[in-house]
Structure 1
Amino acid sequence: MLLSIRSTRGSDISIDRRGMRASAMALLLALLGFLLVAGDGQMLYKDSRQSIEARIKDLLRRMTLEEKIGQMTQIERAVASQAVVRQYGIGSVLNGGGSAPAERAAPNVWEDMVDDYQIGAMSTRLGIPVIYGVDAVHGHNNVYGATIYPHNIGLGSSRYLLILSPSIFFLPFWYEKFLGLFLRDPELVRRIGAATALEVRATGMPYAFAPCIAVCRDPRWGRCYESYGEDTQLVRSMTKIIQGLQGSPPPSHPSGYPYVGGPSKVVACAKHFVGDGGTVKGIDENNTVTTYRQLVQVHMGPYLDAIAMGVSTIMISYSSFNGIKMHANRFLVTEVLKNRLGFQGFLISDWEAIDRITDPPKQNYTYSVLTSVNAGIDMIMVPFDYQNFINILTGLVKSGAVSQSRIDDAVTRILRVKFAAGLFEAPKANRKLNNKVGAEDHRELAREAVRKSLVLLKNSARSGSSKNILPLSKTAPKILVAGTHADDLGLQCGGWTITWQGGSGQTTIGTTIRQAIANTVSQSTQVVYEQSPDANFVKDKGFSYAVVVIGEQPYAEIAGDNLNLTIPSQGIDTIRNVCSSLRCAVVLISGRPLVLEPHIDMMDALVAAWLPGSEGQGVADVLFGDHDFVGKSSRTWFKRVDQLPMNVGDMGYDPLFPYGFGMTMRQQ
């Protein structure tokens, strides 16, 4: 695989020759494969005019057991190569968070890598393309320079304001402000899904492990920001992002059948089935203890909508249901999801998840393979020890422990998605899409999403003043911007950004909140930035007001589990030092509600910005009054952690801010 072009003429010629030799070998092997199968009748599976089911039937009957098990195997790009894909007939390749062909790899470098795997796949006997998957969970977040959207907790808080005309009610015009309706904005997430699909396709990838449609019932969970909110109906409304990622199936499309609407769309993956957001104390990969009825009522609903929209794949959860690992739960995976709900795409495991069926992980890998495949999982995200997996599953089938019909069901579903996605007709990257990565219209969309997701929790006037601090003045002579998160793009984006856990600093391309403020105020306004000012720095410096931006450090999955949910001490010190002397608006960057009650009285304004992503200009758009706040909290804001779990509708519900709370700047 080639990642760069050398500067010397001799090296260039060498690269060309290697490419020619590889292409010639691929052509020769493909021709040999054609000759081997041509004697077995017409190859209907290569004829796009045939129905998908006819193509599957024709291809499946030609496949050996080894080729079928290869299709069920997903491996990480670090161990993948053209030769490995060809030798083992690998069905899928992925990259984990932070795994890339090169640091800050450009779109064409990603495309070269994926195309190289496809050359290996197309040169196999049957020429079945690989399907390359990536965690594109808030934009194409693994790729440097891609647009990073707010994480789902913010999108779940997004609203749009529908103004009802006063004339309808024969009321004077000034009643208009009382006739606005703040409505959920699933159309916004659909548009984000469509833009994300374009950027994913622009790097040669046809498969996104998104959306997460968990219903997070406890903010102590480290993946709570991947959930749209605590309310089932809210999460159900946000599943419309699938129509953006995959396209909208026509009315005649069969229910439960995978759908991908063309070369600008991707295969989506609803995750993580089921109950991942309901574990005890929010501990990641832990046990969800509840009745089946409650599991259905709280956690299952979003999957009904995803299946109705033609979602192509569903990822199984690490978690357990009443002590049974979901990856081993045949009742929920096969009887419920496949048989009762009629899902006809393929089910994929999570990363090394079948290893964790046993404790400690991989204690009995043969048992893990046997149990997960018989539970109904179709593709296994191995991701490294693929030879061992292939050998064990092959032995289990030959011994009769896993039936041939179970293997055929899995491969049928995998091929169905590959045919639906058009991979047999167009397996390689569409290089004309390269300019879609980080495109300006996508960044404008992300900026809109930031504006709509901000939640105003407090806006007040200090004694002696009749005016609330927000909106901030653009013409103040001198203002202070402070806090760890004010000028740090990595912290602003959170986990699952470039790397798995995220990071700090200029990790990708975007606009920090400090930069956004400087872009917004008048040229005569002096903007002073001090990350962690002490009390003396603030006093008698002539500041008109301060914007303090603080919050959590980035995290993902189990690393984010947190039983105390306090604002980091450095952030508290900054609030105390600044807000004791100046009027201050505090912007909280976090993946969930945090403990606020001891500190909120020090603040003149408080904004929950969640994890806004790369377009910090959206924050300034609202702080300075170009747009008003419309966001409504997708989560209950607790007073103390000993109240958790506490969700809207619970008995004894006593929040600091209730679910759905959010002010406008006109409100006290």
Structure 2
Amino acid sequence: MIKRKWLLVFCLVVVLISQGLAQSGSVEAPLYKEAKAPIDLRVEDLLSRMTLDEKIGQMTQAERGSIQPKEVATFFIGSVLSGGGSSPRPNTPQSWAKMYDNYQQAALNTRLGIPIIYGTDAVHGHNNLKGATIFPHNIGLGATRDPELIRRIGEITALETAATGVDWTFSPCVAVARDERWGRTYESFGETPELQRLLVGPYIKGLQGPNGEMKGRYIVATAKHYLGDGGTNWGTGDGGFWIDRGDVTVSEEELRAIHLPGYVEAIQAGVGSVMVSFNSFQGLKMHEHRYLITDVLKNELGFTGIVVSDWEGIKEIDTPDYYNKVVRAVNAGIDLFMEPNTWRNFITALKKAVLNGDVSEERIDDAVRRILRVKFQAGLFEAPFTDRSLMAQGVIGNQEHRAVAREAVRKSLVLLKNEHNLLPLAKEARIYIDGSNADDIGNQCGGWTITWQGASGRITTGTTIRAGIERAIKGRGRIVSNLNAADVAVVVVGEKPYAEGVGDNRKLTLAWQDLQVLEQVKAAGKPVVVLLVSGRPLMITDDLKDWDAVVVAWLPGTEGQGIADVLFGDYNFVGKLPITWPKSLDQLPINDGDEDYDPLFPYGYGLTMDLEN
């Protein structure tokens, strides 16, 4: 009884002393919580306090659909993401912010209070969010060759994304697309490394801030997909695809010359993360390629940020055992694992690997150190929750941002043919408009819009190509429904939305419905302007002679008015092909610099209109 009394007295004294010290300010906060302390010291202080479970949790990224906020706290999860099309309901900025803050609050309730970093594929605007500004896909931006425009696009994307709480985007794509049959061609700026050298740095500066702020109105960027994703061979695809996730068989010298320069630019621009690619290099999956990840990216190029896997990227490592897939990928140098639905299995496997000695604690510490460094750089410890003031400013999808997207559309357009100077069109003309992509906001936005694969129809707010033409000629010309009554026909053809390997296509032909419309216009003897809305070149050689004017509009996004701006001569064409346009499928793959280079239209091609006459 006496011992128990003394124990109670001792505990009381400790409590009173602690309270006194706290009130007097004598108890110092941990160094990692000191905002003014050097980041490296904060990282080391926090790392020294962490258990193995907490470290492994930081290396884990779960998809929002497979994890609850309370599980973020239980497993010390470091990151949550929204995959393509994964959005809260209703899909509004307010719902996004509430969702983000719920996850963040759970993370802050843990012993050390380490915030999560939330990622999404904001690849042409905050494209998972309905009502956001949707810019042209990268292939169109490559046609502009305008670094300052690309910087502004990155800045707007960051602002609209940050306004919903999200602090990390898996963009820009740094791929050099060498075969247009690849379903991700439109995610690339083009077929030569010169475009990546020109545009990657400005895009990252726009996303992260001119001085790498990564906070406030800016977010963390990702250069992807490392390395060689655009250089795979047809027929080697993985995951059930023809070319996507396939094998790159060029020499290391050629790999470095074509596919590495964009990453050099990204690192020089201070990019916060690099995503590893699904593809293989000379038979070895990139997700287990220690030489290219650790020796080249981290050591040779000096990258100090986060190396993140792609969606279930370790799944295709050639071993049937999940444990060994984890071991190989961690030892190759991947730091943060996008295991969207199997994140619990990942945590179990990695802990077992460390305890077994198959993964060293030094490797774990290197990974966590990188993750923490980016979180400190992004200011997540000081400002972990959504900045509601950004949303209150009405930044999402506002007219100012849409004006920049409209400018991007104008500058991305490439004029391939203009027989008898049919363009520019007169605003007084009677115009017949038809084609599958004439009045479809979903088709002109393409994949990675609201959903992963995208969809046809009125999926978000914006201006279709037809609506843009209607506005341009209002009060002067008119759109007619009778072809015979028209002065000119505008036929908008191309592709329907797709993403990744789903879009692998060995034919690249126009849809029969569009070809039928073009035949009708030909039979009527009307001059025709053909607009190609697609993520890559299509086979048009046999039909080209029947078309008076041909414009490549790529996948322009929500601001179709930008097309009308140029068709009617308010602006001239400035876009140049970022990718070679082949004559036939037999030529594929075809790229600038090939020995037998004989395309329908060469890389860099693009006409202008005679606006003076």
Question: Structure 2 residue aligned with 1:542, among 482, 485, 502?
Answer: 485
Paired with 2:589 and 2:314, the residues of 1 have a C-alpha distance of: 29
Gaps in structure 2 of 5+ consecutive residues: 1-17, 235-241
Amino acid at match of 2:488: Y
Residue 345 of structure 1, CA deviation? 0.3
- Worse-superposed segment, 514-523 or 616-625: 514-523
Residue 567 of structure 1, CA deviation? 1.3
| Residues 53-73 of structure 1, C-alpha deviations (whole Å, 9 max, x = no match) | 000000000000000000000
Determine the structure 1 residue equivalent to 2:232: 279
Paired with 2:424 and 2:523, the residues of 1 have a C-alpha distance of: 20
Is 1:651 matched with 2:595?
yes
Paired with 1:200 and 1:80, the residues of 2 have a C-alpha distance of: 21
Question: Structure 2 residue aligned with 1:637, among 568, 581, 591?
Answer: 581
Paired with 1:610 and 1:579, the residues of 2 have a C-alpha distance of: 24
Determine the structure 2 residue equivalent to 1:515: 467
Residues 1:403 and 1:39: Cα distance change in structure 2 (over 3 Å): farther
Determine the structure 2 residue equivalent to 1:176: none
Is 1:48 matched with 2:5?
no
3-state SS of 1:410 partner: helix
Question: Structure 2 residue aligned with 1:552, among 495, 501, 505?
Answer: 495
| Residues 274-308 of structure 1, C-alpha deviations (whole Å, 9 max, x = no match) | 00000002700000001111100000001001001
Residue 39 of structure 1, CA deviation? 12
Residue 102 of structure 1, CA deviation? 1.1
Is 1:111 matched with 2:97?
yes
Q: TM-score, normalising length from structure 1? A: 0.85
Determine the structure 1 residue equivalent to 2:107: 121
Is 1:383 matched with 2:335?
no
Is 1:400 matched with 2:343?
no
Amino acid at match of 1:343: F
3-state SS of 1:116 partner: helix
Paired with 1:261 and 1:84, the residues of 2 have a C-alpha distance of: 27
Instruction: Tell whether the 8 Å contact from 1:248 to 1:261 is kept in structure 2 after alignment.
Output: no
Amino acid at match of 2:243: I
Determine the structure 2 residue equivalent to 1:323: 283
3-state SS of 1:369 partner: helix
Paired with 1:602 and 1:39, the residues of 2 have a C-alpha distance of: 84
Residue 260 of structure 1, CA deviation? 2.7
Paired with 2:167 and 2:176, the residues of 1 have a C-alpha distance of: 27
Paired with 1:616 and 1:336, the residues of 2 have a C-alpha distance of: 42
Paired with 1:561 and 1:429, the residues of 2 have a C-alpha distance of: 38
Residues 1:401 and 1:41: Cα distance change in structure 2 (over 3 Å): farther
Instruction: Tell whether the 8 Å contact from 2:214 to 2:220 is kept in structure 1 after alignment.
Output: no
Instruction: Tell whether the 8 Å contact from 2:32 to 2:42 is kept in structure 1 after alignment.
Output: yes
| Residues 306-325 of structure 1, C-alpha deviations (whole Å, 9 max, x = no match) | 00110000000000000000
Question: Structure 1 residue aligned with 2:519, among 576, 592, 598?
Answer: 576
Determine the structure 2 residue equivalent to 1:497: 449
Amino acid at match of 1:583: P
Determine the structure 1 residue equivalent to 2:569: 625
- The 5 A counterparts of 1:8-47 are 42-47=29-34
Determine the structure 2 residue equivalent to 1:469: 422
- The 5 A counterparts of 1:146-185 are 146-158=132-144, 184-185=145-146
Determine the structure 2 residue equivalent to 1:4: none
Instruction: Tell whether the 8 Å contact from 2:157 to 2:207 is kept in structure 1 after alignment.
Output: yes
Residue 118 of structure 1, CA deviation? 0.5
Question: Structure 1 residue aligned with 2:210, among 238, 241, 248?
Answer: 248
Paired with 1:375 and 1:132, the residues of 2 have a C-alpha distance of: 24
Residue 261 of structure 1, CA deviation? 4.6
Residue 433 of structure 1, CA deviation? 1.2
Is 1:296 matched with 2:252?
no
Paired with 1:524 and 1:237, the residues of 2 have a C-alpha distance of: 41
Residue 364 of structure 1, CA deviation? 1.4
Residue 578 of structure 1, CA deviation? 1.4
Corresponding pairs, count: 579
Determine the structure 1 residue equivalent to 2:412: 453
Paired with 1:209 and 1:97, the residues of 2 have a C-alpha distance of: 11
Determine the structure 2 residue equivalent to 1:66: 53
Instruction: Tell whether the 8 Å contact from 2:176 to 2:258 is kept in structure 1 after alignment.
Output: yes
Paired with 2:261 and 2:30, the residues of 1 have a C-alpha distance of: 41
| Residues 597-620 of structure 1, C-alpha deviations (whole Å, 9 max, x = no match) | 011111110000000000000000
Paired with 1:272 and 1:262, the residues of 2 have a C-alpha distance of: 24
Instruction: Tell whether the 8 Å contact from 2:428 to 2:478 is kept in structure 1 after alignment.
Output: no
Paired with 2:224 and 2:215, the residues of 1 have a C-alpha distance of: 23
Paired with 2:97 and 2:506, the residues of 1 have a C-alpha distance of: 42
Question: Structure 1 residue aligned with 2:300, among 340, 348, 356?
Answer: 340
| Residues 547-568 of structure 1, C-alpha deviations (whole Å, 9 max, x = no match) | 1001111100000001111112
Determine the structure 1 residue equivalent to 2:187: 226
Is 1:483 matched with 2:429?
no
Residue 391 of structure 1, CA deviation? 0.6
Paired with 2:522 and 2:96, the residues of 1 have a C-alpha distance of: 47
Amino acid at match of 2:605: F
Residue 219 of structure 1, CA deviation? 0.4
Residue 112 of structure 1, CA deviation? 0.1
Residue 42 of structure 1, CA deviation? 4.6
Paired with 2:249 and 2:522, the residues of 1 have a C-alpha distance of: 44
Paired with 1:80 and 1:424, the residues of 2 have a C-alpha distance of: 22
Instruction: Tell whether the 8 Å contact from 2:174 to 2:262 is kept in structure 1 after alignment.
Output: yes
Amino acid at match of 2:84: G
Amino acid at match of 1:593: P
Residue 542 of structure 1, CA deviation? 1.6
Paired with 1:187 and 1:222, the residues of 2 have a C-alpha distance of: 28
Is 1:307 matched with 2:267?
yes
Question: Structure 2 residue aligned with 1:193, among 139, 151, 154?
Answer: 154
3-state SS of 1:265 partner: coil
Paired with 2:522 and 2:164, the residues of 1 have a C-alpha distance of: 46
Q: TM-score, normalising length from structure 2? A: 0.93
Paired with 1:522 and 1:65, the residues of 2 have a C-alpha distance of: 67
Question: Structure 1 residue aligned with 2:71, among 84, 87, 94?
Answer: 84
Residue 577 of structure 1, CA deviation? 1.1
3-state SS of 2:275 partner: strand
| Residues 124-153 of structure 1, C-alpha deviations (whole Å, 9 max, x = no match) | 000000000000000111100000000000
Gaps in structure 1 of 5+ consecutive residues: 1-30, 159-183, 250-258, 462-467, 530-536
Is 1:603 matched with 2:547?
yes
Instruction: Tell whether the 8 Å contact from 1:576 to 1:602 is kept in structure 2 after alignment.
Output: no
Hey, which bits of structure 1, 4+ residues long, moved more than 2 A?
38-42, 259-262
Residues 1:566 and 1:379: Cα distance change in structure 2 (over 3 Å): same
- Worse-superposed segment, 519-528 or 235-244: 519-528
Is 1:141 matched with 2:127?
yes
RMSD: 1.7
Aligned-pair identity (%):
53
Residue 121 of structure 1, CA deviation? 0.3
Paired with 2:415 and 2:581, the residues of 1 have a C-alpha distance of: 13
| Residues 385-431 of structure 1, C-alpha deviations (whole Å, 9 max, x = no match) | 11111011000001110000000000000000000000000010011
Residue 642 of structure 1, CA deviation? 1.0
Instruction: Tell whether the 8 Å contact from 1:201 to 1:266 is kept in structure 2 after alignment.
Output: yes
Paired with 1:564 and 1:151, the residues of 2 have a C-alpha distance of: 22
Residue 40 of structure 1, CA deviation? 11
Is 1:565 matched with 2:508?
yes
Instruction: Tell whether the 8 Å contact from 2:427 to 2:476 is kept in structure 1 after alignment.
Output: no
3-state SS of 2:550 partner: strand
Instruction: Tell whether the 8 Å contact from 2:152 to 2:206 is kept in structure 1 after alignment.
Output: yes
| Residues 467-489 of structure 1, C-alpha deviations (whole Å, 9 max, x = no match) | x211011112x321101100000
| Residues 325-350 of structure 1, C-alpha deviations (whole Å, 9 max, x = no match) | 00000000001100111000010000
Paired with 2:588 and 2:287, the residues of 1 have a C-alpha distance of: 28
Paired with 1:100 and 1:106, the residues of 2 have a C-alpha distance of: 9
Amino acid at match of 1:273: Y
3-state SS of 1:585 partner: strand
Residue 527 of structure 1, CA deviation? 1.0
